[in-house]
Amino acid sequence: MHAITIPEPGGPEALVWAEVPDPVPGEGEVLVDVAAAGVNRADVLQRQGHYPPPPGASPYAGLECSGRISALGPGVTGWAVGDEVCALLAGGGYAEKVAVPSGQLLPLPEGVDLVTAAALPEVTATVWSNVFMISHLRPGETLLAHGGSSGIGTMAIQLAKAVGARVAVTAGGPEKLAACQELGADILIDYREQDFVEEIRRATDGAGADVILDIVGAKYLARNLETLALNGRLAIIGLQGGVKAELNLATLLSKSAAVTATGLRGRSLAQKSAIIAAVREHVWPLIGGGQVRPIVHSTIPMREAPEAHRLLESSAHVGKILLTT
């Protein structure tokens, strides 16, 4: 098969389409012929040499894919050769074939085609696990999603609205904010021109945001704490704004607030399977019913992965970028 390899860390040009050995599904795994793979910020970090795959994972980038099952490993039940699926991966999506633990497979949601389904596993698993399973967003509460026009952000808006929450977003510029508004966002904040702390305070009559989904990290930590409501929950899922910051425990204590930081890639198979099962139970019916939909900005041939990375790093997109085989 062919895959996107990274012979040496570097810029987008470090991604090289090359012939590599086919993966072999192990115990409890299936082999998937990849139709499409999602492009994520974690892939950029891996390309740069900052985010190596966990032990035993595929050496290739790609944390999600869609495709057809072409072989079953020992001990797999409930799936058959020919099934169309999408999957959460620890790596390996940037390839023509990938071996996937069966607990990380999902059937295609009703009404979603095979290629588009590649836009769903990582964002749905990230948002559902952080906003709902960990932060317990409830109807009537306010969610602030930083990077509202990203793949994560566009899914967070829709899922939060589907459960009856109020949604605030930050994004860069009127076009991206308009896209967020179209998806249901109630409070639109241009981070280039506005202070999100003040805007949330004004929009909530001083109460603050009950849950904040943050992709920025250190740069926003102090301001996120200011923005939290009493009993608020800050979920950090990205480090685009740095890794080290000072945490004011007095602010945290005064608000009885909680800060969590999680990733998907390094979690155990059991944890990932539990998240995928929850996504299938709670999110798939919303997609099938038309309340939530994948947002795809563009599809790019996999051998042109460098161009996809350039587009992602430019931030000139709304929603997901997909690579197709």
Cα radius of gyration rounded to whole Å, the chain: 19
The pLDDT of residue 241: 86
Pairing state between β 97-101 and 29-39: antiparallel
DSSP-based three-state secondary structure for 175 = helix
Which residues, other chains included, contact 13 with Cβ-Cβ below 8 Å and sequence gap of 6+? 306
The pLDDT of residue 239: 87
Q: Is the dihedral of CA 261, 265, 266, 272 positive or negative?
A: positive
The pTM is what?
0.96
Q: What is the pLDDT of residues 48-64, one digit of tens each?
A: 999 999 999 999 999 99
Q: What is the pLDDT of residues 221-242, one digit of tens each?
A: 999 999 999 999 999 999 888 8
Helix ranges (DSSP H) in the chain: 41-47, 121-127, 151-162, 174-183, 196-203, 221-227, 249-254, 269-282, 284-288, 305-314
The pLDDT of residue 49: 96
The pLDDT of residue 57: 94
Low-confidence stretches of the chain (pLDDT < 50) are: none
User: Which element (helix H / strand E) includes 50?
Assistant: none
Q: End-to-end CA distance of the chain, in Å?
A: 11
